[in-house]
Chains A and B, each alone.
Chain A
Amino acid sequence: MKTYPLITEILQIVAVLILAPIFIGWIRMVKCWLQGRTSAGLFQPLRDIIKLFYKEVVLAENASWIFRFTPYLVFGVSVLAAAIIPILSTDLSLALTADAIVLVALFAIARFFTALAGMDIGTAFGGMGSSREMMIASLSEPAMLMAIFTVSLVAQSTSLAQIALVIGHGPFILRPSLAFALLAFVLIAIAENGRIPVDNPATHLELTMIHEAMILEYSGRHLALIEWASMMKLFLFASLGIVAFFPWGIGEGSLKDIPIAFVLLIAKLFIAGIVLVLIETGLAKMRIFRVPEFLGSAFLFATLGMLSYFILE
């Protein structure tokens, strides 16, 4: 076994684990600036996680092993996903483990268990969150697949490393198919990560909660793991977008690439954070039954991307 892929693999996992809370911190910071508030700093989410790890766990009386197992599983899935997506380098020892479709399914298994955990304690909130989350997921999945389909038409592959290589090395042309796919992907990423306008991660108002409703009963280290995993999920979706649409600069075969890749990654995430904040501050949260239209348009964009590939390219 070669050492290079292994080293980058480890570097990448560590980078994701640490950068994910900082990325959230960055998003919150920009949001604060835009809304004229003072921010708590870049490292506040990281401090929150550490604080939660030291807190006592309060379990509902009725909680079964599923409730206790879910945080570990969700975290495990996120770490595995962090090991698979070519964030710093396309040459990872686990890169072959999953292609884009498997990756979507990995997030699906985390969601499946989170939804079960929401049902486990037997409160109305948990059930409501699970029900809505699964509804949104089932509408975003076809759009996601369509976006993958479009990208795979261009790259002739669903393997993420291959997509990054093909698109990164190809001539720099504006492909309408990829532009549509990117638009679809952004909408999907917003829905999947429970951001405004689909869900509001900062709310605890009963009627607007989706993701928060499912994890309402979590506390202590369980909550820390879940929060950390959901930060990683946002980070990973951002990197997924980078891999598929802006892969320039991702390292390939040597350790020398890594520092450049790292700097470029930070720069890209810097922009991604600002774009996300602009979307979130510009829009109001929509009614739950408007979400199908939102995701329907994502599906439409992805389909348009596929059609424009066949017609224009």
Chain B
Amino acid sequence: MEKCWQEKGNYHTCYSGAINTNRHKIKMEFSPIILSSLSLLSLLFAAIVVPLVISSQRLLIAISFSLTAVASLLAVAAGCWVVGSGLINKLILPLGLPNLPFHLRLDPLSGFFLTVIGLLGFFVSIYSIGYVKGFLGKRSVTPLVIFYSLFMASMFLVVLADDAFFFLISWEVMALASYFLVMFEDEKTENRRAAFLYLVVAHVGAIAILLSFGVMAGLATGFETFNGYTFDAMREAKFSSGWATVAFFLAFFGFAAKAGVVPLHVWLPEAHPVAPSNVSALMSGVMLKTAIYGIIRITFDLIHVFPWWWGAIVLFLGLISTVMGVLYALMQHDLKRLLAYHSVENIGIILIGIGLAMIFTSFNLPILAALALIAGLYHTLNHAMFKGLLFMGAGAVLHATKERNMEEMGGLIHKMPWTAALFLIGCISISALPPFNGFVSEWLTFQAFLLTPALPNALLNLLIPLGAALLALAAALAAACFVKAYGVTFLGHWRGHHNPPSAPPFMKGGKGGVEVDWFMRIGMILPAIACLGLGVFPTFFIQWMDIIPEQLLGSKIAASAGAFGWMWLTPVSHERASYSGFIVFLGILSVVAVVYLLLHTRRTAVRRAPIWDCGFGKLTNRMQYTATSFSMPIRRIFGFLFNIKEQVRITPPVPPFNKGGGGGLHYHLRVRDRFWNLFYQPVADASFWVSRQFGRLQQGRIHIYLVYSFITIIVLLVFLR
């Protein structure tokens, strides 16, 4: 099988499993692609049959989300299998347009993304069983169930599709399904507006991808036939550099719009927060990754020869997204919006890895390219885990408090101990702190940066290190942001104006707790374990996914990465750099344990006392630091990047002063995305202007319309005779 992937076009000789040249007689050998098809079928079953058969909403939730969980597991199995073995499976479906059947292909790259999507899909499905119950009695959950299953199926299909038609169809189904999911609570104007914006951006992106495939298909076999629509044809084609550039940037634009790369990110912080939290977890955690998949597939697999400046542009946009994403996140006080902006940041980090891999590839340094690509892919997996976990945690908070505004929260660690602990793991992971997973991938990205002096280009040598500094800035700001998010939401006292949540209406739990149920807890515990596992045992996962750069770039890093044993990650050599998440974890844990035990050999008193109020009398909960005050220093330093409106209004005191008549200070702060005014407002204004001009055609009188028809016919007769 090792030879298999090298002969890209000539796959008939080396298949294993289900590919069969005769598509009417698919030999049903058991293979990863059959496994993934089974997963797809069960998702379609959950989407179409189950809602028809089952009328009880409660049962519907249980059955369909269990089905999607099983389907996700099947996909994970298929993905792991194919990545582990390096097989390339193909399947030609007897579906599609006449003579243009749909092609499926499961290679390690798709397998990896299948695993990522499936893994988070599994966790979120379990979580959903508990979470979606919250909607019972308020609205019908049937649309949620249907579109959730369709959404999962379409994400699987996007990474499995092996021709342009099928890819775009799946892409469209994915966009539409997620659109309906964002619209789920459609009585809110905010949701409708966000969903519409999402739909517009998704379709502008889809058009660009369509055009890109058009260019590539046309160049592959000529514009007369349709045979170029398969990815195989594109793979074999030799593109001229000009057309390749056109195809790449069209595709990159389209995928960047989906991934939320700055400046195409504006829809993301609108759409992700308003969706139900389980859907936000999927959208942020894995839907964005399908765009990453698309970029990798098109760049490294379909075009595969490119100049270095493509990579430089990807790297540059990645860096901009990383820094802007985290800075905007810092300004948010809506928990889910904050998380959504962090997706912009993390997509940026992934793109940094991909951009570096592209630069290294174009200078023919495959080992370094493999390192950078692994860093990007590993961050893809990591981000899916911790962002999924964080969105689920935010969902749990929302579920319990009915509140998304952090300024109204606080002290939830006492009310929701499980959610608090699990959310903390997510925060540590996303802040790139060892020994959790986010750190491993950022560390690998830094290593890739540190190896750029090997590039034979002085300009890049001088500029790329500044990129590393930007990444360091973003990592540190992310830590600041999550201290804020966690500190304001879970720590301190309850800040809200209304009373803190207590036992009813949600869930039992003693001591006035509002902890979520076990389905939601398990849905969060599993990704938390994954975060730790991916952080502590990175060598195993890197060895597992090493086949991907081997197939795409012809080089791998496992030989050196694991050269020093499974405990030590040494991406290049142990003399260059090494990291052991396992020892960091064990070391900290054992010192903590030893010190704790030493200090508790004799009984020591612990006294609880009220906080010191400096002798001024009662402190109130409203005196605590808030999210806005926490980020104030950073807002001040980086203020020039935002559109900030700050107002302090002083109302003069009216007598009697002692009883509420004292004047007040009212502080208003509005931080807006500069990109909105810069790029989007002009486009929106222009399109409104154009539609107004067209609107003049509509007079509402029938004879004018008849004149239009008449003129049209005359014109057609004259020109198309």
**Partner-B contacts on A (CB < 8 A):** 53, 56-62, 64-66, 69, 72-73, 75-77, 79-80, 83, 94, 96-99, 101-102, 105-106, 108-109, 111-112, 115-116, 118-124, 126-128, 130-132, 134-135, 137-146, 149, 152-153, 156-159, 162, 217, 220-221, 225, 288-289, 292, 299, 303, 306-307, 310
Contacts and interface: CB of A to CB of B under 8 A. Distances in A.
Contact of A105 (B420, B432, B449): B432
B210 to A, nearest CB: 40
A121 B577 CA distance: 40
B631 A303 contact: no
A73 B587 CA distance: 11
A310 B492 contact: no
B609 A60 contact: yes
Contacts of A156: 576
B624 A124 contact: yes
Contacts of A72: 592, 595-596
B466 to A, nearest CB: 7
Contacts of A162: 575-576
Given A109-B428, A303-B466, A141 B473 contact: yes
B638 to A, nearest CB: 9
A289 B480 contact: no
A80 B591 contact: yes
A65 B606 CA distance: 13
B472 A116 contact: no
B564 interface: yes
Contact of A149 (B411, B465, B482, B624): B465
A105 B433 contact: yes
Contact of B611 (A123, A127, A135): A123
B483 A119 contact: yes
Contact of B443 (A96, A101, A124, A157): A101
A85 B387 CA distance: 33
B574 interface: yes
A134 B609 contact: no
In the complex, which of the residues A83, A122, A143 has the most CB atoms of chain B within 10 Å of its own CB atom? A122
Interface string B618-650: 010101110001111110110000000000000
Interface stretch (B224-232, B264-272, B279-287, B578-586): B578-586
Interface string B107-138: 00000000000000000000000000000000
B492 A119 contact: yes
Interface string B287-318: 00000000000000000000000000000000
A143 B492 CA distance: 32
State the majority secondary structure of interface residues on B. helix
A213 B295 CA distance: 47
A122 to B, nearest CB: 3
Contacts of B466: 303
Contacts, number: 252
State the majority secondary structure of interface residues on A. helix
B590 to A, nearest CB: 8
The 7 closest A-B pairs by CB, nearest first: A127-B625, A119-B487, A122-B492, A134-B480, A141-B476, A138-B476, A76-B591
Contact of A60 (B453, B584, B611): B611
A153 B465 CA distance: 11
B575 A141 contact: no
Nearest to A153: B453
Nearest to B462: A310
B604 A145 contact: no
Contacts of B589: 76
B591 A130 contact: no
A149 B468 contact: yes
Given A64-B413, A80-B591, A108-B476, A131 B625 contact: yes
A122 B493 contact: yes
A138 B634 contact: yes
Contacts of A60: 608-611
A221 B599 contact: yes
A62 B605 contact: no
Nearest to A95: B578
A289 B587 CA distance: 37
Nearest to B482: A112
In the complex, which of the residues B462, B599, B629 has the most CB atoms of chain A within 10 Å of its own CB atom? B599
Contacts of A121: 492, 611
B577 A123 contact: no
Nearest to B572: A157
In the complex, which of the residues B433, B466, B491, B596 has the most CB atoms of chain A within 10 Å of its own CB atom? B491
B470 interface: yes
B587 A66 contact: no
Given A145-B468, A145-B472, A64 B491 contact: yes
B381 interface: no
A116 B465 contact: no
B215 interface: no
A307 B424 CA distance: 40
Given A122-B611, A127-B625, A152-B450, A288 B487 contact: no
B578 A288 contact: no
Contacts of A157: 575-577
10 contacts: A65-B413, A120-B492, A123-B612, A127-B629, A134-B484, A149-B449, A149-B469, A158-B447, A217-B612, A310-B458
Contacts of A53: 599
A55 to B, nearest CB: 9
B539 to A, nearest CB: 13
B597 to A, nearest CB: 11
A116 B491 contact: yes
B89 interface: no
B634 A99 contact: no
B633 A102 contact: no
A169 to B, nearest CB: 13
Contact of A142 (B476, B577, B631): B476
B175 interface: no
B659 interface: no
B414 interface: yes
A32 to B, nearest CB: 30
B579 A98 contact: yes
A141 B580 CA distance: 21
Given A137-B480, A158-B450, 19 more contacts: A57-B604, A60-B611, A75-B595, A77-B588, A83-B587, A98-B580, A98-B584, A101-B577, A106-B434, A115-B483, A116-B486, A120-B487, A130-B625, A131-B630, A131-B632, A143-B469, A221-B599, A289-B637, A306-B462
Contacts of B424: 66
B483 A80 contact: no
A108 B479 contact: yes
Interface in B444-490: 446-447, 449-450, 453, 458, 461-462, 465-466, 468-473, 475-477, 479-480, 482-484, 486-488
B584 A131 contact: no
Nearest to A288: B633
B431 interface: yes
B497 interface: no
A64 B624 contact: no
